[in-house]
């Protein structure tokens, strides 16, 4: 059995209210109530949870129709269609701010009523889908392990996830509307000179080369090694609607890399001493340079010196197959 669409009618003219109720019933809708005041409308909306509220803009009483509609939509997430015969400009402007899902100009026919109600219900359904999708995407972006910042088509920040907040030292509330350059302070890892993200070129869809590994200086002046990537955000039409900047903290891996380099240099130095010791094993022989020591062990490989040991030494010092960069 199909559930009927429930509608609340808020109208202070009794004859008009009765006509609207009869039209709705004739169209197959369920009318949860007809009330003349904003206060009653809010109470009944909370109690009956209608699918839609038809609200007269010009209600009499302490609570206006606009105030009641705003409360019903923002408080209970119930879409509103305004009923109006006339209204001054300021009232209409206030009505727009409450984001109604339609207007009906009194007097209206049954067909107009049905069309407006159905369109309003469809628009509300689509808005709920969009909200849920935005909520879903926001949850994903807030949960990923990288910093993510998104801008609008002017390059002004519209979103920043918690990891980006932590790395930059800025909160999302602080950066909304700011440019990326004001928040993302990138420095060259070697020279420590500021690097500029080519936001304008990205927004124009020009090919740009972005330094992938930079130093990110936070709001508090703390530097972190990050890997960054920036790309344009495209709408379904293909037009660029903003920039997304993603960056991850690679400080630990950088420190580990430096430590590995130092460890390698220590091992290499120790191996140099071993080769020199091998080549100067005879008493009273002066110490050789590493080059001379290598020539000595290579010329006597397999006789005086173990062949496998010599091969390993030659790979490290002559063939350079074990340089750190090729590890």
Segment 215-244, tens digit of pLDDT: 999 999 999 999 988 888 887 777 888 888
Q: In Å, what is the CA distance from 127 to each residue of 76, 77, 99, 112?
A: 15, 11, 12, 22
User: Domain check: are 131 and 192 in the same one?
Assistant: no
Instruction: Please give the biggest Cα pair distance in the chain.
Output: 123
pLDDT at 318: 64
Mean local confidence (pLDDT), 68-83: 94
Taking the C-alpha atoms of residue 83 and residue 96, their distance in angstroms, rounded to an integer, is 13
Tell me the pLDDT of the chain averaged across its residues.
Answer: 83
Task: Decide if 1 is inside a domain.
Answer: no
Sheet with 185-187: list strands edge to edge.
Answer: 157-160, 147-151, 240-249, 223-234, 213-217, 185-187, 194-195
Q: Is pLDDT larger for residue 326 or for residue 249?
A: 249
pLDDT score recorded for residue 198: 84
Q: Is the pLDDT of residue 6 over 80?
A: yes
Q: Are residues 97 and 21 in the same domain?
A: yes
Count of other CB atoms within 10 angstroms of residue 51: 19
Domain count, the chain: 3
Question: Where among 139, 173, 188 does a domain terminate?
Answer: 139
Q: What is the CATH number of the domain that holds 89?
A: 3.40.50.2300
Is the pTM higher than 0.85? The answer reads no
User: What pLDDT sits at residue 125?
Assistant: 93
320 pLDDT higher than 60: no
The reply to whether 190 falls in a domain is yes
134 and 10 in a single domain? The answer is: yes
Same domain flag for 150 and 77: no
Per-residue confidence band for 138, with pLDDT thresholds at 50, 70 and 90? confident
Whichever domain contains 167, its CATH number is: 3.30.450.20
| More confident site: 322 or 171 | 171
Cα distances from 200 to residues 110, 184, 204, 230, 249, in angstroms, run 53, 15, 6, 12, 25
Q: What is the mean pLDDT of residues 295-317?
A: 71
User: Which residue segment(s) compose the domain that 66 sits in?
Assistant: 6-139
Mean pLDDT of 35-61: 93
Instruction: Give residues with Cβ within 8 angstroms of 158, minimum separation 6.
Output: 150, 151, 152, 176, 242
Give the whole-number percent of the chain exceeding pLDDT 70.
83
Say whether 152 sits in a helix, a strand or coil: coil
Contact 81, 101 (CB under 8 A): yes
φ/ψ of 8, rounded to 5, equals: -100, 130
Predicted pLDDT at 220? 92
> For a pLDDT cut of 90, what percent of the chain falls above it?
41
Q: Are residues 13 and 88 in the same domain?
A: yes
* In-domain check, residue 117: yes
* DSSP summary character for residue 2: P
Q: Give yes or no: residues 242 and 121 share one domain.
A: no
pLDDT, greater one: 71 or 140? 71
Note the pLDDT tens digit of each residue in 246-298. 998 988 887 777 777 776 676 666 556 555 555 555 544 555 666 776 677 67
Do residues 171 and 291 both lie within one domain? no
**Do 291 and 215 share a structural domain?**
no
Helices (H), the chain: 14-26, 38-48, 65-76, 89-97, 110-143, 162-168, 172-175, 180-183, 199-203, 251-279, 290-299, 307-317
Beta-carbon count within 10 A of 278 CB = 20
pLDDT over 60 (residue 155): yes
What is the pLDDT at residue 322? 46
Q: Are residues 170 and 62 in the same domain?
A: no
User: Which residues are CB-neighbours of 105 under 8 A, at least 6 positions away?
Assistant: 84, 85
Nearest to residue 240, comparing CAs of 197, 205, 200, 206? 205
Question: Do 56 and 159 belong together in one domain?
Answer: no
Q: How many CB atoms lie within 10 A of CB 304?
A: 13
Q: What is the pLDDT of residue 327?
A: 41
The verdict on 157 and 207 lying in the same domain is: yes
Residue among 217, 129, 234 at smallest CA distance from 167: 217
Does residue 312 have a pLDDT over 90? no
Closest among 121, 109, 57, 108 to 83, alpha carbons compared: 57
């Amino acid at each position: 059995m199909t559930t009927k669409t429930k509608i609340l009618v808020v109208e202070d003219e009794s004859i008009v209210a009765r006509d609207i109720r009869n039209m709705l019933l004739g169209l197959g809708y369920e009318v949860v109530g007809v009330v003349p005041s904003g206060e009653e409308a809010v109470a009944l909306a909370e109690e009956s949870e209608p699918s839609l509220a038809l609200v007269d803009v010009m209600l009499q009483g302490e609570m206006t129709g606009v105030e009641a509609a705003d409360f019903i939509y923002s408080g209970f997430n119930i879409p509103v269609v305004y009923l109006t015969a006339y209204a001054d400009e300021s009232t209409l402007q206030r009505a727009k701010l409450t984001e109604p899902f339609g207007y009906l100009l009194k007097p209206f026919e049954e067909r107009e009523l049905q069309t407006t109600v159905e369109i309003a219900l469809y628009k509300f359904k689509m808005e709920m889908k969009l909200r849920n999708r935005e909520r879903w995407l926001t949850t994903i972006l807030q949960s990923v392990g990288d910093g993510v910042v998104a801008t609008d088509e002017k390059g002004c920040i519209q979103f920043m996830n918690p990891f980006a907040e932590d790395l930059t030292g800025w909160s999302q509330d602080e950066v909304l509307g700011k440019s990326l350059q004001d928040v993302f302070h990138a420095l060259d890892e070697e020279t420590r000179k500021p690097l500029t993200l080519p936001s304008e070129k990205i927004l124009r869809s020009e090919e740009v080369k972005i330094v992938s590994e930079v130093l990110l200086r936070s709001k508090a002046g703390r530097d972190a090694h990050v890997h960054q990537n920036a790309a344009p955000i495209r709408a379904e039409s293909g037009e660029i609607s903003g920039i997304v900047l993603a960056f991850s903290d690679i400080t630990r891996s950088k420190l580990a890399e430096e430590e590995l380099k130092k460890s390698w240099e220590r091992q290499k130095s120790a191996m140099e001493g071993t080769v020199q010791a091998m080549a100067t094993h005879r008493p009273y022989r002066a110490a050789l340079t590493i080059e001379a020591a290598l020539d000595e062990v290579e010329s006597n490989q397999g006789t005086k010196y173990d062949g496998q040991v010599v091969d390993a030494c030659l790979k490290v010092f002559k063939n350079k197959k074990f340089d750190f960069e090729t590890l």
